Amino acid sequence: QQQVKQSPQSLIVQKGGIPIINCAYENTAFDYFPWYQQFPGKGPALLIAIRPDVSEKKEGRFTISFNKSAKQFSLHIMDSQPGDSATYFCAASRGGGADGLTFGKGTHLIIQP
């Protein structure tokens, strides 16, 4: 059972555009929702994270929108650059996160110059 569904699987956007990646979760016990960026051959790097008590969080060019009633959250990348080309993963955890993260399957993002 996949508890975090991520879409799209791949995405191509022109430089300066705003790619949007969506995730939906099933487990209402989840209370922490991070996004990770991964370059080929490297470990994932934490980008930004949100908790259900807020509907939006911005850090630099990255924004998370969160809809608790719909059990959905999304990542927006403003003014996208070719250097943002990477694989992005959403994830979720519960109760302090000691028992680990549940990941989506990832989105391969390409920003064309």
Partner 1 sequence: SQTIHQWPATLVQPVGSPLSLECTVEGTSNPNLYWYRQAAGRGLQLLFYSVGIGQISSEVPQNLSASRPQDRQFILSSKKLLLSDSGFYLCARSSGSGNEQFFGPGTRLTVL
Site residues for partner 1 per CB under 8 A? 6, 32, 34, 36, 41-46, 49, 89, 91, 93, 96-106
Query: What does the alpha-carbon distance between residue 108 and residue 66 come to, in Å, rounded to a whole number?
Result: 21
Minimal distance in Å, beta carbon 48 to partner 1? 11
User: Scanning the structure block, which residue is given the tokens 């996208």?
Assistant: 80
Distance of closest approach, residue 33 Cβ to partner 1, in angstroms? 10
Structure tokens of 107? 């989105």
Q: What angle do CA 74, 80, 82 make, to 5 degrees?
A: 125
Per-residue DSSP letter, 84 = G
Nearer to partner 1, 83 or 100 (CB): 100
Closer CB to partner 1, residue 3 or residue 14? 3
What's the closest the beta carbon of residue 45 comes to partner 1, in angstroms?
7
Cα distance between residue 113 and residue 101, in whole Å: 34
Closest CB to partner 1 among residues 6, 80: 6
